[in-house]
Structure 1
């Protein structure tokens, strides 16, 4: 099935995106990594916007067509950029500290938080299978905390863990907000992606400016220096490719969201492979069992 292949491609790209983030922030200045990576995404979409505006004779795939929107629409998309920006700042700082094989499974619990938000704010009521899924995800998350404790990571007191949890919750709010943008406002996926990518640049700029001023004012030895790495340039293209494959899969009338969403979360497997092959992380078998539990729970949540 083509939509399943596209979903697997999305999962692979999303996993590589997580790896690129980890490689980029390790021992590096997070504010500059964020600014450069979002600038790459903004540049890609700016070129697309210019082509569609000034060279209308060039055929652009329907999936990449950015629609004209009102001032109210621009404000709504700027709001998404603020929400996503806050989530990314927390996630990048967390990734700098946590092993990828711990951070990625925490991030994979996003559907659980989305469901909680739907229960609290949208008055949705889970089915019995979803309650079972919630229990399995929470149990797997607890098991992951025990594995993390063997590496000195205390989930209750470790700030990096709470940063990633907060980033994941903000990401869940972003998913709910995406539903509003796509259904209530009627924006196309390309329109949302394009303008929120452009607006992310001014959102991330103040953090980078603050880093630059601190570097000038304080002892340079105390400031984490910025090193330009190829992985930083790849962060945005990998995410754009993952999202494009995901949207293309959902556009197939035969696609089942109950399969697409949890299958896309298999991206966490890439993080485990990376952790075992490149960064010398430990306890990977136990972490893999926890990840399997989380993915099983997510499948039940989607049902």
Structure 2
């Protein structure tokens, strides 16, 4: 059952990743948080790429080996960077304005949107149990909106909520696109991660330059200072660790995707614990019930 332990490690790292993002953007300049965090990831992968290219005698684990790719594959990975970059920009701005215990459960509904995309564009047809899962997730999402209303968060009109929903939908599109990259292009996970991490940096630069111009020439009330916190530097390593544990779990021939995917989404529990213990957020028990419903629905979707 090592694959299950790896999945739980991935969930823990993913939860800590969400916490690091929330701590990083609180009262901080989101464009610079994004640029610095993706730059850390790009540096990590660039070092590994250089070592594998110029020092082939140094052996990396198979999971971290990056294959040589052609121009078309580079363009495909650059497109993924644009897609993921748009999702992260919306998610980070949303996270700055929403309680973590609201934002994380919304993000956890990603498998639902992935299924919707598969239904519309890939002509997949859900089984009856999956339709029940859809109903459970949507019902839990509606219940979460009622809990949010108690804190003055109106899901229909709150821009930060819609930013997170769109970010989640874009993330689901990225998951479907990953299937194309891994199966149709035949790329390995490390190759996808390495190059899209490198291409994410130029995607984030324009937003950071705009922030810089505002700091230099904008009105004082629009200026937001950037503080380089330890949490900013931890964002990418935590995500990298979560993804490596996830792919390692999937590499096990005994691993069941119907268990791995929903179990990994239990990362939202870490967000709830953080929200209740460290951020002083309220209505945690009601939110926990909504999260339990979302996770139950996701399990049904994956069966």
For Structure 1 versus Structure 2, the TM-score category normalised by the shorter chain is over 0.9
What's 2:218 paired with?
218
- Report if aligned partners of 2:77, 2:192 keep a CA contact under 8 Å in 1: yes
- Report the alpha carbon displacement of residue 218 of structure 1 after superposing the two structures with TM: 1.3
TM-score by length of 2: 0.99
- Report the alpha carbon displacement of residue 252 of structure 1 after superposing the two structures with TM: 0.2
User: 3-state SS of the aligned residue for 1:86?
Assistant: helix
Deviations 1:138-157 (A, max 9, x none): 00000000000000000000
Deviations 1:59-104 (A, max 9, x none): 1111100000000000000000000000000000000000000000
What's 1:111 paired with?
111
Mapped to 1, the partners of 2:294 and 2:145 lie a distance apart of 13
- Report if aligned partners of 2:13, 2:242 keep a CA contact under 8 Å in 1: yes
Mapped to 2, the partners of 1:269 and 1:79 lie a distance apart of 32
User: 3-state SS of the aligned residue for 1:265?
Assistant: helix
RMSD (Å), alpha carbons: 0.5
What's 2:3 paired with?
3
Mapped to 2, the partners of 1:222 and 1:157 lie a distance apart of 23
- Report the alpha carbon displacement of residue 213 of structure 1 after superposing the two structures with TM: 0.8
Provide runs of 4+ in structure 1 moved above 6 Å. none
What's 1:36 paired with?
36
Q: How does 1:240-255 map to 2 (within 5 A)?
A: 240-255=240-255
- Report the alpha carbon displacement of residue 214 of structure 1 after superposing the two structures with TM: 1.1
Q: How does 1:1-303 map to 2 (within 5 A)?
A: 1-303=1-303
- Report if aligned partners of 2:214, 2:222 keep a CA contact under 8 Å in 1: no
- Report if aligned partners of 2:94, 2:103 keep a CA contact under 8 Å in 1: yes
Mapped to 2, the partners of 1:170 and 1:58 lie a distance apart of 37
- Report the alpha carbon displacement of residue 220 of structure 1 after superposing the two structures with TM: 3.7
User: What 5-or-longer segments of structure 2 have no aligned partner?
Assistant: none
- Report if aligned partners of 2:19, 2:274 keep a CA contact under 8 Å in 1: yes
- Report the alpha carbon displacement of residue 221 of structure 1 after superposing the two structures with TM: 4.5
TM-score by length of 1: 0.99
Mapped to 2, the partners of 1:204 and 1:160 lie a distance apart of 20
Mapped to 1, the partners of 2:25 and 2:193 lie a distance apart of 24
Mapped to 2, the partners of 1:123 and 1:218 lie a distance apart of 49
Q: How many aligned positions are there?
A: 303
